[in-house]
Amino acid sequence: MTHWTRAALATDLRRRRAPVWGWLAAAGFLIACFLAMPAGSAPTSTSPARPGAEGDPEAMPAKRAKLLAELKRVPHKIAYESYRGTNWELFVINADGSNPVNLTRTPKVDELYPHASPDGSRICFAADEGKGRSKVRSVYYMNADGSGRTLVAENARHPCWGPGGRAIAYTPGEYDRFSAASYATKGLAVYDLQTGQHRRHPNRSIRHLYALTWSPDSRWFLATVHGGMGYDHADLAIEAEGERVFTLPQIEGCRPDISADGKKILWNATDQSIAVADLDLKSSPPGITNIRIVVSCQEGDEVYHADWSPDGKYIAFAHGPEGDQSVGQIARGWNICVADASQNNVWVRLTTDGVSNKEPDWVPAGNEGEK
């Protein structure tokens, strides 16, 4: 278990092992892995699983088949970034992995990190434009069908929607020159879609945030910080309208995500596990209880970029062999998967080409393409 320590974490964010939340959580994780190992292999794969990897492909087929059948009836879609040989594009698929559609089709621009608005009508994203020293990552939004691309901010990243889809929060770039590091950010800003105005967060010491998310009650920003604001590595709750910042010691991992109803939270507990818990947004800091592992895989593989479905029943995530999980960095063999959030390690693989399919985000059904 030495690879889960803070010492390993500090060596390199992109290749780190996220620490576990203490001896009790570590014990719980080991028990969960032992009990859940047979359930992870996706029904869309015909090749046998490696011993101790995603599980015995003959075990628990009924649960996996049931999950896939359920997903065929789910109206929501999933957007994700995908490396298509020469550049990154944004794709959207049905909840069961069918009907993949390229939303962007821009061979000279790399579109990345899609996040859908609460009503599913728009998608915000990051885009890398230019080459070499002139390369810049900026934030845009567009309609859910790929039309109506609109610039939000140049030299910015990690966009997320505010409640009601009326605003987009983002982190300005730390340097004028492009950096591939996810945490190369300085500050936090909010863009109002109606007025076109930007406002800076009142806490001017914010630095090195990534994986930003905005709580549905509008009170909190949650994010991971790396080497900034006096922290080596931590998950933070930041007052949306104030200056107070709280650590969330219960989730010593990264990339927190809040369910649409604000009652659940998930995050990467380690490179090989995704955890969920109950969330109380009314307390200061937000309360986190009833922690459990819901997805795990063997050493040599990784699971990342987890996102709640709009109804809180499922979790989309990326899975593949050890690779670079950072935005816009190639991770060969990675595919988009969906897990049943109520069970232990019951998940299916939706994509099968392994072309660095990462950063999945659910697109709620109902208003796709409306302006």
Would you say residue 338 lies in a domain?
yes
Domain containing residue 218: 2-363
Would you say residue 250 lies in a domain?
yes
Would you say residue 345 lies in a domain?
yes
The pLDDT score that the predictor gives to residue 315 is: 98
The pLDDT score that the predictor gives to residue 228 is: 97
- The first and second tokens of residue 181, run together, are 């590091």
The pLDDT score that the predictor gives to residue 367 is: 54
Would you say residue 369 lies in a domain?
no
Q: What is the pLDDT along the chain (371 residues), one digit of tens a residue?
A: 333 333 333 333 333 333 433 433 444 433 343 333 333 333 333 232 332 334 445 556 899 999 999 999 999 999 999 999 999 999 999 999 999 999 999 999 999 999 999 999 999 999 999 998 899 999 999 999 999 999 999 999 999 999 999 999 999 999 999 999 999 999 999 999 999 999 999 999 999 999 999 999 999 999 999 999 999 999 999 999 999 999 999 998 999 999 999 999 999 999 999 999 999 999 999 999 999 999 999 999 999 999 999 999 999 999 999 999 999 999 999 999 999 999 999 999 999 999 999 999 999 997 544 43
- Give which of 64, 73, 77, 66 is closest to 310, Cα–Cα: 77
Would you say residue 371 lies in a domain?
no
Direct distance between the N- and C-terminal alpha carbons of the chain, in angstroms, rounded to an integer = 50
Query: What does pTM read for this prediction?
Result: 0.84
Would you say residue 357 lies in a domain?
yes
The pLDDT score that the predictor gives to residue 202 is: 97
What CATH number is given to the structural domain containing 114?
2.120.10.30
The tally of domains found in the chain comes to 1
The number of residues in the chain equals: 371
The pLDDT score that the predictor gives to residue 333 is: 98
